Amino acid sequence: MSNIAPELIASNKCFDGWLKRYKHVSTATGTEMVFAIYLPPQAQVQPVPVVYWLSGLTCTDENFMQKAGAQRIAAELGIAIVAPDTSPRGTDLPGEHDSYDFGSGAGFYINATEAPWADHYRMYDYVTEELPTLIEQHFPVTDKRAISGHSMGGHGALICALKNPGRYASVSAFAPINNPSQCPWGEKAFTGYLGTDPEAWKDWDTCALIAKADSKIPILVDQGGADDFLTEQLRPEALQVACTSAGHPLELRLQPGYDHSYFFIASFIEDHLRYHARVLMED
């Protein structure tokens, strides 16, 4: 890990804390990466724990920070929020920008094994190893971490927590892609990034990981009942079945009338941040 500090892009005071954007050269992706961090006012006097937020298809680090309304409650609770980008940028690989659900903006938080994606699309390593190391080295934070996300990012949060027992104190998700090896979004992405063997996909599928998980980290999921992607892409019933079969603790809340948008996230983000804070603040 380089000792070079990330370069500040923008800074805005918010609820007596600071929302900042940085860029740095990533060893995991081999590209320049951008991330956003909200540092609550408590970080000015002592290190604070961190919630990592993983965004969904087509998003960047900015969507959550601008739309979720999370800073007010993060400032009250004394927790930092870190939001990375959703994929490498600037590689211009063949077909990378052809569709919204593969390539640019659609890294799926996995490590690609297929050419030409394998050299750069290593968002799993970036999110779970490189970025936390960078954050803990250069910012006033502790090594207590939680992780959450939305849609593709909800999938990312769940697999990151399940594949790394003990690395995250808690995990939650909004409308996650629960069973990507069995839905169109996931099948397209996994085929491109990982190849055509479905066995290779299981290492990146929440439902498959739960079946063999040694850790039983509790999972909180909110799902909008009016989500257009509910049946075909998200499949929360598959998550429910997997957790029930494995005896894995799950709180799955179906929220009637809510869709897939940031209006949904903004409505329940306080619940999730308080959920994480209860665990992060434990001695």
Q: Which of 24, 260, 272, 276 is catalytic?
A: 260
Residue 266 lies in a domain: yes
Band (pLDDT 50/70/90 cuts) for residue 170 is: very high
Inter-residue contact 157 to 170 (CB < 8 Å): no
Q: Which of 55, 151, 172, 181 is catalytic?
A: 151
Residues 6 or more apart whose CB falls under 8 angstroms from that of 244 comprise 250
Name the 3-class secondary structure at 38.
strand
Residue 283 has a pLDDT of 65
Domain range holding 49?
A: 7-281
Residue 1 has a pLDDT of 45
Which secondary structure element, helix H or strand E, spans residue 81, and what is its range?
strand 80-84
Residue 2 has a pLDDT of 54
Q: Of 173, 172, 190, 171, which Cα lies nearest the Cα of 181? A: 190
Q: Distance between CA 180 and CA 205 in Å, rounded?
A: 6
Band (pLDDT 50/70/90 cuts) for residue 282 is: confident
- For the full predicted model, state whether its pTM sits above 0.95: yes
Q: Which of 227, 248, 272, 276 is catalytic?
A: 227
Residue 270 lies in a domain: yes
Which whole number is the average pLDDT over 258-270?
98
Any idea which of 154-158, 200-204, 211-215 has the lowest mean pLDDT? 211-215
Q: Tell me if residue 260 is catalytic.
A: yes
Domain of 162, CATH number, reads: 3.40.50.1820
Band (pLDDT 50/70/90 cuts) for residue 103 is: very high
Residue 2 lies in a domain: no
- 24-47 b/e with 16+ CB inside 10 Å = b? bebebbebebbbbbbbbbbbeeee
Residue 17 lies in a domain: yes
Which whole number is the average pLDDT over 36-49?
98
**What is the tally of structural domains in the chain?**
1
pLDDT digits 0-9 by tens, 187-207: 999 999 999 999 999 999 999
Residues 6 or more apart whose CB falls under 8 angstroms from that of 224 comprise 175, 230, 254, 255, 257, 258, 259, 260, 264
Is the bond leading into 49 cis (omega within 30 degrees of zero)? no
Residue 187 lies in a domain: yes
Residue 209 sits at φ, ψ, to 5 deg, of -70, -40
Residue 171 has a pLDDT of 98
Band (pLDDT 50/70/90 cuts) for residue 45 is: very high
Which whole number is the average pLDDT over 6-14?
98
Burial class of 174 by CB neighbour count within 10 A (0 to 12, 13 to 18, 19+): buried
Residue 1 lies in a domain: no
Residue type at 195? G
Q: Tell me if residue 227 is catalytic.
A: yes
